Structure 1
Amino acid sequence: MALFGLGRRREPADDTARRRVEAWIRALIEPESVVKINEILCPDPSCPGLETVILVMRPGRKTQAAKVAKPLAEVTRAEVQAALADVP
């Protein structure tokens, strides 16, 4: 039994989409920042299912997260910009 999506295997996110989104992020943040992009399955029934989580790690600061409520392959540049607008 797959409780909250756990135990269900799914295909890894498209690496081309990941590189595209990372390039958009890199154009918006400091060059010394570390970026991690993940596509996760949200177990909450009110979530859209798959969502994209962006972590921005800057030296000397707490890690900051931004979310786009759709799968990585469907994320647009405008959505990345809007999500990162809330990340100081």
Structure 2
Amino acid sequence: MLKSAIPDREKLTAIRRVKTWTVERFGLSQDMTVSAVEVACGLPGCPPLETIVTFWTTSESRHAFKVFKPIIEVTSEDLPPSWMKQAMVSNGDDLSCC
């Protein structure tokens, strides 16, 4: 049986929730782009599913962090503290470490 490519309602709700928490935690404006995705990781030592959250404060400043669990299990306590905002600047494509 083929699985639908459309995420279920629970996952969409979780995505919205994580994005809202990210905006609130890091003091982002509503017009800033925030992405929250769940990805499968096949690398040794990686959890089977992890959540990657990315947001831009300027067109050249991308911030990113990972939560090592599926998006529906992420809680607001899993997000980094607001004072880590500058430490999360990631201008490369490699998010393999954190």
TM-score by length of 2: 0.68
Unaligned runs of 5+ in 2: 87-98
**Could you say what secondary structure the match of 2:51 adopts?**
strand
Task: Quote the RMSD (CA, aligned, Å).
Answer: 2.3
- Number of residue-to-residue matches in the alignment: 79
TM-score by length of 1: 0.75
Unaligned runs of 5+ in 1: 1-8
Aligned residue type for 1:87: K
State how far apart, in whole Å, the 1-side matches of 2:20 and 2:12 are: 12
CA contact (8 A) 1:64 1:87 kept: yes
CA contact (8 A) 2:14 2:71 kept: yes
| Residues 27-66 of structure 1: per-residue CA shift (max 9 Å, x gap) | 1232042100110001102101100000011124321210
* Cα 1:85–1:69 shift into 2, 3 Å: farther
- Deviating runs (4+, > 4 A) in structure 1? none
**Could you say what secondary structure the match of 1:86 adopts?**
helix
